[in-house]
Amino acid sequence: MYHIISIKDFEREDIDNLLARAEEIDTQGVYERSLEGKLVALLFFEPSTRTRMSFASALARLGGASICVDSVEGSSIIKGETLADTVRVVSGYVDAIVLRHPREGAARLASEFATVPVINAGDGAGQHPSQTLLDLYTIRQSMPLDAIDVGLLGDLRYGRTAHSLAYALSHYDVTLHTIAPSGLELPEHLLGELKERGMEVIAYEDVSDILPSLDVLYVTRMQRERFPDSASFLNVAQSYRITPEILTGVKNSLIILHPLPRAGEIDPRVDDLPYARYFEQAKNGVPVRMAMLQEVMGQ
């Protein structure tokens, strides 16, 4: 059975094929209603707006239907049921499961017990492959995924989207520039893994040192709880904020991405500049998730 659990399970060819399928859906409207009669469980044990709604939208556009659990409170987990039992039971009701869960590794566990395909829609601080695929898809819309300079900015220690994207980009000829405050750099083990895979990774503390050379700037949220006090958080957050002023001198072809929601990392005035791609990126969640749903259900 085919599950989508982690971007690490993907070879470059798998990624390319899935993105090509998403592009066909997006630009040619092919495969419409190919999941007619199929039922998918959206098990969301953690709050989500974009991911849940875009999976629901993707499924509806393919002619399928969804049944949802929106919280732990709304499920038997509150009665002490294990996730293993939940997915075994739900497998009997549906043709596939889309799971979001606060625990890392939850989707891997679900795939071991489910008798239908499982798609990981985010497990704690772990993997979120559909986000990574739509990030890649958005870059690919503007430029080939080769011979480019990608900057990752923000909390790179705890940000799962940055980790997965960095790993996925290591399949391609990409130079990675990491821009993070001290203490929030990419974890050592990931850095080691990327370098082992032949990726050039260069670290910076000041975004202006590298901004003019970038083709892609991927901004992630910095969380208040990672800092000792509000003052130091505000200080760092301010120095990493992307504004129209800081973008003076960047490449004309630069694109700026953000997995959203943003919390002040990007000045709203940037939204009107040609570099801003984050709302398009969010919209791309639909064709990419349509392709993923088709893929796991063998269509």
Q: Which residues bind other proteins (CB under 8 A)?
A: 6, 8, 82-84, 101-106, 108-109, 112, 123-127, 188-189, 192-193
* CA distance readout (Å), 159 to 79, 121, 146, 201, 223: 31, 15, 24, 17, 10
- In this structure, what token pair is assigned to residue 112? 């071991």
Cα–Cα distance for residue pair 8/164, rounded to 1 Å: 8
Question: Which of 225/229 has CB closer to other proteins?
Answer: 225
Known catalytic residue at 8: no
Which residue among 50, 103, 262, 283 is the active-site one? 50
Give me the catalytic one of 3, 38, 51, 171: 51
The minimum distance between CB 103 and other proteins, in angstroms, equals: 4
Of 37 and 80, nearer to other proteins (C-beta) is: 80
The strand pairing partners of 4, in sequence order, are 119
Q: Residue 144: name the closest of 94, 68, 216, 237 by CA.
A: 216
The conformational region for residue 109 under phi > 0 = left, psi -120 to 50 = alpha, else beta, is: alpha
Amino acid 1 reads: M
Q: Examine the residue annotation and report whether 79 is marked as an active-site residue of this protein.
A: yes
CB of 231 to other proteins, least distance (A): 28
Nearer to other proteins, 52 or 101 (CB): 101
Tell me, yes or no, if 38 is annotated catalytic. no
Q: Are 43 and 69 in contact (CB under 8 A)?
A: yes
Considering the complex, what minimum distance in angstroms separates the CB of residue 225 from other proteins?
Answer: 14
How far are the Cα atoms of 29, 66, 290 from residue 62, in angstroms, in the given order? 10, 11, 7
Q: Which is nearer to other proteins, 106 or 148 (CB)?
A: 106
| 128 counts as catalytic | yes
* Minimum CB distance to other proteins, residue 252 (Å): 38
Residue with Cβ nearer other proteins (188 or 272): 188
What gap in Å lies between CA 37 and CA 62, rounded to an integer?
A: 10
Query: Smallest distance, Å, CB 10 to other proteins?
Result: 14
Among the listed residues 100, 160, 177, 258, the single catalytic one is 100
Q: What is the CA radius of gyration of the chain?
A: 19
Question: Is 160 in the active site?
Answer: no
* Residues noted as catalytic: 50-51, 79, 100, 128
